[in-house]
A and B are shown apart, each in its own frame.
Chain A
Amino acid sequence: MTATEIDSPPAGTASAPALRLEDVRVELSGSSGRVQILRGVSFEVPRGQIVALAGESGSGKSTAMLAAVRLLPWGAGVSGTIECQGEDVRALSSRQLRQFRARTARVIFQDPWSSLHPMRSVGSQLVESARSADGSLSKAAARELAVETLRRVGIPDPKARMDVYPHQISGGQLQRVMIAMALVARPAVLLCDEPTTALDVTTQAQILDLLRDLNRSEGITVLIATHDLDVIAGIADRLVVMYAGRVVEDGPAQQVLAAPKHLYTWSLLQAAPAHQHESRLRPIEGRPPRSDENLPGCAFAPRCPGARDECTGELPGLELVAVGHRSACLPVQQQKEAQQ
């Protein structure tokens, strides 16, 4: 990062953000030709913060996360800037990339059952993970680190747990093991793709508590992709809302939830039964655009309760509408201008 950067980082963190995406576009080959999955995504994950990347299925949240560690399928067309811990992720050689994924940015997937090797003990997978990040680690030291990390993520009797196989422990424990596997590498950034969706409600809360605890005590930067705004409401510092391959709103989590500045975020919050005392829910009519549909204006306009004529014609950019709070909603931007 150079001194020419315009947006100065918030006070206290004198360094560049842990992760920065700028105008990232991703194209994948589908049955109907090339489809745009990401249509110019820009957001930042400040160091030491928890950022939630929220959106419905097809919004591109997982793609954005996978693009950040170059885990997209073969043949994906990527453009734009992706920087993680000051490194240009798109320019890494395959050798550097392996180091980057082992040490700097670790990914935790939705389904712990399919993320672990079913035929190898939990311990041996932890040891492998630790040694891949730090080649100078002896087997014994790696084992010690693994036991310590299992204890850190709240696994009871960690020594004995080293020898069990993934099928012998519950989903919640398994997700803790996944987090431990990431932690043994002492990564700077933890990328979690729907880390609690496959888990029960009470277990979900335990895992989120653990992530917050790790963030607070060890300063690990966390990015969580989620479809459920309410689940991450309690733990995220910032919220990035995506719709149809673009960021539509980005701001401090509590502020976005209490006073959303995009009609999509607002509609989504309205639709959740947790926020509805009335006898009927307020759904968002229609459905999100397909990835092969190209709308000239705001992608949400056809379903939007506040859409105006100009919304369908012109694509709104992400603009500041409040302190640290950006929105890509044209009527909201116009309202803000009128107030000034």
Chain B
Amino acid sequence: MILQTENLEQSFPVSGGRRVQVLNGVSISVNAGETLGVVGESGSGKTTLGRAVMRLSEPTGGRVFFEGRDVTHANSAHLRRILRRRAAMVFQNPSTSLNPFLKLVDALTEPLAVHRIGSRSERRQQAYDMLERVGLDRAQAERYPQELSGGQRQRVGVARALMLNPALVVADEPTASLDVSVQAQVVNLFQDLQRDLGLAYLFISHDLALVSHLSHRIAVMYLGRVVEIGPAAEVFDRPKHPYTVVLSSMRRPAGEQLTPGGDPPSLLSPPTGCAFHPRCPIARPVCSTTAPELTALAETKGHEVACHFPGDLELSGGLETAVAPPPPIPLEAVR
């Protein structure tokens, strides 16, 4: 197991001496070579989770294990030796996460220099190799980020994350700033690199279709908790938590969508009981008083749901209607 969290909690101070609880007991794990997709809306805590496991913040409760070692409160020297060398992050917006004053080759060799790996020429060679690996030309090494297109920049963001040969890559909405046609290029790159290098991904996104496409397992988050976790096909095609069902229905024709009423709840005044109950189409009295625990389902291994009535809300039709097939190509000669 590469990464494991146990009842991870993260709170931040807000005005008035209060604290806002962003993560509320999150337990996840990522195995070697596996992709765990994390799906949630804004305020669900998905980004905070990514930052907490990378120790960009210090958790206020629970534990984080990286490659078997407890890094929850590790100091910076310790972190640098273990977590920072073996785990890397790809950020949402490559236009702001790359230093505009560094040539690509310098941006790519920087992690190696920080960790004192190789000679100067060896580092440069590695940077050239990595550029080619992510589908860029080595001639572009002398360029600056603003000379590249958005898709190319995100390739550089991925390349930089891979320079230290990590075991885990945490990717926070890595394609959200890209157009659909370019997004597919980057998604395929993620998959190719995983196949070739055996990387593990924690892939964070609001897009359930995208996450289900490239994840082995999916964790669905709502207001700081994991409400459903399991094999990607199960969670996506046979969701058991009403919130996942609602998310999953968004890919259907408008008439078949389940649009929840109300707004996502505020972290500052979380609802009592199950956080989803004010918007849940099948909520019953118990839902507003008791928060359901994440419980394993008997029928599928590894599928856990935090709901008092798992599976009571279902999408009609099931698998076949879930993914609309792509339309036929308009040309007969090419077909």
Q: Which residues of A does B touch, CB under 8 Å? A: 56-57, 170-173, 200-206, 208-209, 212, 227-230, 233-235, 257-263, 266-277, 279-285, 287-288, 305-306, 327, 329, 331-332, 335
Contact for A263 among B213, B279, B331, CB less than 8 A: B331
Contact for B331 among A173, A230, A273, A331, CB less than 8 A: A331
Residues of B contacting A: mostly: loop
A262 in contact with B330 (CB, 8 Å) = yes
B206 in contact with A283 (CB, 8 Å) = no
A271 in contact with B327 (CB, 8 Å) = no
12 A-B pairs, CB-CB below 8 angstroms? A57-B179, A170-B263, A173-B263, A200-B41, A227-B180, A234-B254, A234-B257, A271-B183, A273-B212, A283-B182, A283-B188, A335-B330
B329 in contact with A266 (CB, 8 Å) = yes
Q: How far, in whole Å, are A94 and B1 apart by their CA atoms in the complex?
A: 67
A270 in contact with B326 (CB, 8 Å) = yes
A167 to B: closest C-beta gap in Å: 13
| Chain B residues whose C-beta falls within 8 Å of the C-beta of A209 in the assembled complex | 254, 259
B117 to A: closest C-beta gap in Å: 33
- Interface flag for B139 (CB, 8 Å): no
A335 in contact with B210 (CB, 8 Å) = no
CB under 8 Å from chain A, chain B span 223-280? 246-247, 250-251, 253-255, 257, 259-260, 263-264, 266, 279
A128 to B: closest C-beta gap in Å: 25
Contact for A202 among B246, B254, B332, CB less than 8 A: B246
Contact for B329 among A172, A212, A258, A263, CB less than 8 A: A263
Q: How many residues of B contact A (CB 8 A)?
A: 48
Contact for A235 among B182, B209, B254, CB less than 8 A: B254
B331 in contact with A281 (CB, 8 Å) = no
The residue on B at minimum CB distance from A271 is: B184
Q: How far, in whole Å, are A201 and B180 apart by their CA atoms in the complex?
A: 16
A266 in contact with B182 (CB, 8 Å) = no
B106 to A: closest C-beta gap in Å: 24
Contact for A279 among B183, B191, B324, CB less than 8 A: B191
A202 in contact with B260 (CB, 8 Å) = yes
- Interface flag for B151 (CB, 8 Å): yes
The residue on B at minimum CB distance from A207 is: B259
